[in-house]
Structure 1
Amino acid sequence: MKVYISQLTETENIIDLLEKYDIGLEIVLFASPYCLDKQDEFIEIYKKELGRLYDAVEFGIHGPYAELSAGSRDNLITQVSTYRMQQAYDVAKKMDANYVVYHNGYYPKTYSYIEWMQRTPKYWNNFLKDKKDDDIKIHLENVHEENSFLMNELMKHIYDEKTSLCLDIGHVNVYSKVDIEDWIKSFGQYMKHMHIHNNYGDEDSHFAINKGTMDVISILNKLKDKDITISLEITDVNELRDSLDILYKNGFIKLRELAKNNI
């Protein structure tokens, strides 16, 4: 299990965490259309901000999601969605990232399952057809889904070594009445990435792993030997520090050996 942290604050606030722990960085900046349009400029900023760590830290990219829809009835919307998602993929290639996370984008009661499934497998297969030889993984993330059925059905059409699911346990705790353990069991081999954060079931708070109704360590202990990556999506830097300390004490992460990385 490889651990990343999602960057939800300025780089200067997490440099010491990246230096201390052998963790990766899931960059959220390129979820912004503005940053995607100026991607080369922002990549250079990252190189300067991270300095010696740039070549030592493994990267993931969180792709754009606002107003995008892979299952839209409107071809113009799907064209824009493809354009933005391709931009994020281009960033991943330029930064030698390991993966890109995209939202599944389904909103309950907006589309029927049947209608959504008429469009989304074709959309993703078209998006992926020229990317099969790349090493970059693509993970599709649950957000408002009330159960795992739709994403599992999608995986039956597009799952392979490159394309899989990202289970966001915080989203499950807020938007689904199905137990997280059942989601994990249902996703099975399709799940290769997870977003980890806690809440009290009332809103998507992105709290520390020990602040909320979920026993996150218990969840992770059951997955410890799985070939998956996880990213901590925790907004408050102090809570992120506390969460990393907890993961370290429980054996999920190790200290970074700077000399070993030749930095």
Structure 2
Amino acid sequence: MIYFSQLLETAQIEKLLKRYPVGLEVISFGIGEVLDDVEHSISYYQKEFASFKDNTPLAFHGPFLDLQPGSCDGKVRSLTKERFTASYKAAQAFGSKDMIFHTGYLPNVYIDKYWLENVAAFWKEFLEDKSKECMFYIENVLDTDWELLKEIVDRVNQPNLKACLDIGHVNAYSHKTVEEWIKVLGQRIGYVHLHNNDGTRDAHKGLEHGTLPIESILQQLKHYAPHAKWSLEIGDEKMLEESLQWLIKKY
């Protein structure tokens, strides 16, 4: 299954969804102001997405700005849980069974051991009352290698918690190659964010606009994580459509 991320205006999204058999990764409910009155926001976006929501598979990207499931401050973790829960409620309202959240890891801020203990405990508690039919994916962002992401998935040890591998983030922030990440994480990977950059910053460019060897990476994904879903996280309409055409033609 191929998705694309909601980085375009709704009119642009509607146009692409009419042309291509893809899903949409919704990011609207990743914004704090949208979650302040989640019932109103659900109603608003039910209307905003009316032309395609019933025929388009939807994944939901959860909130992440200023949130930290690994925080040493219990009130910060509590607010994080509150926001995550609100976004989960929205995903359920739209019938989505796929949710993506960030690890929240900030290099050199916490001692990794304690941060990991907090994150694992957070996710064990968070998943207790959630639908087993909903898959949750934890995404690398500033993570410099795969170790903490791997440990989160293994320690929580639930069939509905897997990794979201963001290959653009690996290229910009990690000292390991994407191929190394894929080999180590293997079938822990359930979802993949696909985009490219020049290795200096997270640019969300098209698949052929950067230094990542995309074709090789996709072959590695097919081998090591054959059941993972792919999402194009590209912020330019032309680059997104070119990348969609390229993916559909090849895969």
TM-score by length of structure 2 reads 0.95
Q: Secondary structure at the match of 1:222?
A: helix
Check whether the contact 1:6–1:27 (CA below 8 A) recurs between aligned residues.
yes
- Does 2:120 align with 1:121? yes
| 2:182 corresponding residue in structure 1 | 184
Check whether the contact 2:29–2:61 (CA below 8 A) recurs between aligned residues.
yes
Q: Which moved more, 1:39-48 or 1:19-28?
A: 39-48
| 2:244 corresponding residue in structure 1 | 244
> How many residues are aligned here?
249
Q: For residues 241 and 119 of structure 2, what CA distance do their matches in structure 1 show?
A: 38
Check whether the contact 1:27–1:60 (CA below 8 A) recurs between aligned residues.
yes
Q: For residues 80 and 47 of structure 2, what CA distance do their matches in structure 1 show?
A: 30
Which whole-Å deviations, capped at 9, do the CAs of 1:31-56 have from their partners, x for residues lacking one?
A: 10111123333333333333342211
State percent identity of aligned pairs.
35
Q: For residues 15 and 215 of structure 2, what CA distance do their matches in structure 1 show?
A: 24
| Pairwise CA distance, 1:116 | 1.1
| 2:11 corresponding residue in structure 1 | 12
- Does 2:203 align with 1:209? no
| 2:97 corresponding residue in structure 1 | 98
Check whether the contact 1:170–1:196 (CA below 8 A) recurs between aligned residues.
yes
Letter in structure 1 aligned against 2:37: K
Matches for 1:198-237 after TM superposition, within 5 Å: 198-224=196-222, 226-237=226-237
Letter in structure 1 aligned against 2:235: T
Letter in structure 2 aligned against 1:149: E
Q: For residues 39 and 19 of structure 2, what CA distance do their matches in structure 1 show?
A: 28
Q: Which moved more, 1:146-155 or 1:45-54?
A: 45-54
* CA RMSD of superposed structures (Å): 1.4
Q: For residues 11 and 37 of structure 2, what CA distance do their matches in structure 1 show?
A: 21
Q: Secondary structure at the match of 2:210?
A: coil
Q: For residues 231 and 195 of structure 1, what CA distance do their matches in structure 2 show?
A: 5
| 2:83 corresponding residue in structure 1 | 84
Q: For CA contacts below 8 A with separation 6 or more, give which structure has more relative contact order.
A: 1
| Pairwise CA distance, 1:172 | 0.2
| Pairwise CA distance, 1:127 | 0.6
* Residues 236 and 44 (structure 1), Cα distance of their counterparts in 2 relative to 1, 3 Å cut: same
Q: For residues 176 and 220 of structure 2, what CA distance do their matches in structure 1 show?
A: 18
Check whether the contact 2:14–2:51 (CA below 8 A) recurs between aligned residues.
no
Matches for 1:125-164 after TM superposition, within 5 Å: 125-131=124-130, 133-164=131-162
TM-score by length of structure 1 reads 0.91
Unaligned runs of at least 5 residues, structure 1 = 253-263
* Residues 141 and 61 (structure 1), Cα distance of their counterparts in 2 relative to 1, 3 Å cut: same
| Pairwise CA distance, 1:62 | 0.5
Q: For residues 85 and 107 of structure 1, what CA distance do their matches in structure 2 show?
A: 19
Runs of 4+ displaced beyond 6 Å: none
